[in-house]
């Protein structure tokens, strides 16, 4: 029986690891900052970085977090920095690395322009701080960590789909 062709392809082990790494990064950042007496430095770093970012006038949701910066804001910001690194790695490895093979069930050209724009839109929304969108103007709470972890992971997996579609388009 012939294998069905699709734009939805199984993820390789490393793609799962990178895609779900914001979950691990958030948990590790939270545990490290609460148990290793690093909260003060992390909060100071986050406050300084956000002051510089927001002074530049960038359209980021990070500029709308309540002041003063809290431990949860620092945890989410560190996870966000990890997301940026993981995004660069995921996109480069899927789109440009010579060793990346076309997924066996992938049908080149099967992703429409709308689908590719949607995947890119999800990733861009998280890039401007979409994981904290529900908390603009109010202090972050522990449930925000769950939304952040899942949102950043969804964005990384969307970026993977976009990179596959761009690499193997016809």
**pLDDT at position 89:** 97
How confident is the model over 113-154, as pLDDT tens digits? 999 999 999 999 998 888 776 666 666 677 778 888 899 999
pTM (2 decimals)? 0.88
Enumerate residue ranges in the chain where pLDDT < 70.
1-8, 133-140, 170
**pLDDT at position 8:** 67
3-state secondary structure the chain: CCCCCECCCCCCHHHHHHHCHHHHHHHHHHHHHHHCCCHHHHHHHHHHHHHHHHHCCCCCHHHHCCCCCCHHHHHHHHHHHHHHHHHHHHHHHHHCCCCCCCCCCECCCCCCHHHHHHHHHHHHHHHCCHHHHHHCCCCCCCHHHHHHHHHHHHHHHHHHHHHHHHHCCC
**pLDDT at position 136:** 61
């Amino acid at each position: 029986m012939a294998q069905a062709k699709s734009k939805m392809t199984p993820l390789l082990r490393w793609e799962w690891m990178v895609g779900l790494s914001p979950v691990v990064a958030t948990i590790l950042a939270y545990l490290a900052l609460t148990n290793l007496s690093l909260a003060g430095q992390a909060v100071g770093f986050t406050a300084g970085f956000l002051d510089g970012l927001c002074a530049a006038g960038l359209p980021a949701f990070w500029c709308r977090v309540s002041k003063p910066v809290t431990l949860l804001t620092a945890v989410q910001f560190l996870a966000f920095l990890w997301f940026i690194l993981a995004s660069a790695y995921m996109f480069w490895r899927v789109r440009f690395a010579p060793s990346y093979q076309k997924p066996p069930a992938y049908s080149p050209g099967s992703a429409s322009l709308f689908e590719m724009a949607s995947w890119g839109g999800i990733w861009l929304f998280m890039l401007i701080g979409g994981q904290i969108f529900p908390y603009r103007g109010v202090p972050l709470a522990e449930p925000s960590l769950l939304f952040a972890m899942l949102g950043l992971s969804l964005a990384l997996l969307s970026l993977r789909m976009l990179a596959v579609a761009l690499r193997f388009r016809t």
